[in-house]
Amino acid sequence: MQFIAIKQLASISVLLALFFTLTACGQKASELQWSRAALERNPQVKVLSVDEKANTIKLRIKATDEELSVTPGELAALPIADLLSLNAQPPSSSLPAIVDSPDVSSTAAATAPTPAPALPEAQPETTLPAEPSVPTAPAYTVQREDGRVRVSGPGISLETMPSAEGENASGKTPRYDEPIICEGRMMRVDNRRLNVNGDAIIARGGCELYITNSDIAATGTAVTVLDATVHITNSGVQGVGGSLATGSSARVFTRNSKFVGLARRDPKTALRDLGGNTWR
């Protein structure tokens, strides 16, 4: 879970989402270049480095000095309706504030009573001109828990996850991730590792979903495709209840991917095996 917490960043994500729609399976390098160029035009963040191998961009939010790594796919996965609603708002003279989770000790210190100051000597009254009112900026929230960071606010919800290597090294029990439901829009799941208790990914309602360079595991069905189009490339898909389940209106394209678990396919499903796949 990671942070991008500003209105201008959401507007940049609109451009990225349009770009990803026109270049369905574009090269990872060009996605990084577009993402980096868009972020560098944002005065509220600073790009620190680009890792082409991991397909991530490391940046810092200037208002809080917070550092995080994001992928082009995480930027493109923002809901289009939320982004459009942000663009429809009138421009504000102040930038949105990053609000961190309150600390109990700091809250107690802030609410502690302070001694009343001594009364100043009487001074002649001076009439000051009224200051123009400043519109209140929408607040964004940064939350941290168990190595994860979640940035949320109007039109944006971004979450970074700890690496699986770090979890195994510390001996902690693996944490289940939230399932992904794609409905009526285009979404990219790129370079992700998901471990879901139940069904992991559900595509429906005209969704167009691209799963690339990812590992999807579920105690239920890993990927369920109803009335939607799903592209699975260079990925591992496994589920205790089944690796893949499709409906009569589903369209599925697979390439260089590994499927572990029962695949349940409706006879009317348009399934295109583009080569390099293994089914077990």
Per DSSP, the three-state class of 76 is: helix
Mean pLDDT of 13-17: 53
| pTM confidence score | 0.41
Mean pLDDT of 171-186: 83
Has residue 214 got a pLDDT over 80? yes
Positive or negative, the Cα torsion across 10, 13, 18, 21?
negative
User: Taking the CA of residue 26 as centre, how many other CA atoms within 13 Å lie in the half-sphere pointing to its CB?
Assistant: 21
Please check whether residue 166 is in contact with residue 159, taking contact to mean a CB–CB distance below 8 angstroms.
no
Pairing, β 156-160 against β 148-153: antiparallel
Calculate ∠ Cα 155-156-159, nearest 5°: 160
The percent of residues above 70 in pLDDT, for the chain, comes to 56
Cβ neighbours of 178 (radius 10 Å): 11
Q: Roughly how many angstroms between the first and final C-alpha of the chain, as a whole number?
A: 32
Distance (Å, whole) CA 57 – CA 32: 7
Please check whether residue 47 is in contact with residue 69, taking contact to mean a CB–CB distance below 8 angstroms.
no
pLDDT attached to residue 92: 47
Has residue 6 got a pLDDT over 50? no
Has residue 33 got a pLDDT over 90? no
The least confident of 23-27, 34-38, 194-198, 202-206 is: 23-27
What are the pLDDT digits (tens) for 222-242? Answer: 999 999 999 999 999 999 999
CATH tag, 176-279: 2.160.20.10
Closest CA to 142 of 40, 85, 64: 64
pLDDT attached to residue 259: 96
pLDDT attached to residue 44: 82
Has residue 121 got a pLDDT over 50? yes
H-only helix segments in 66-103: 72-76, 80-88
Distance (Å, whole) CA 55 – CA 70: 8
pLDDT attached to residue 209: 95
Mean pLDDT of 119-144: 61
Domain boundaries, the chain: 1-100+139-173, 176-279
User: In whole numbers, what is the pLDDT of the chain averaged over residues?
Assistant: 74
pLDDT attached to residue 157: 56
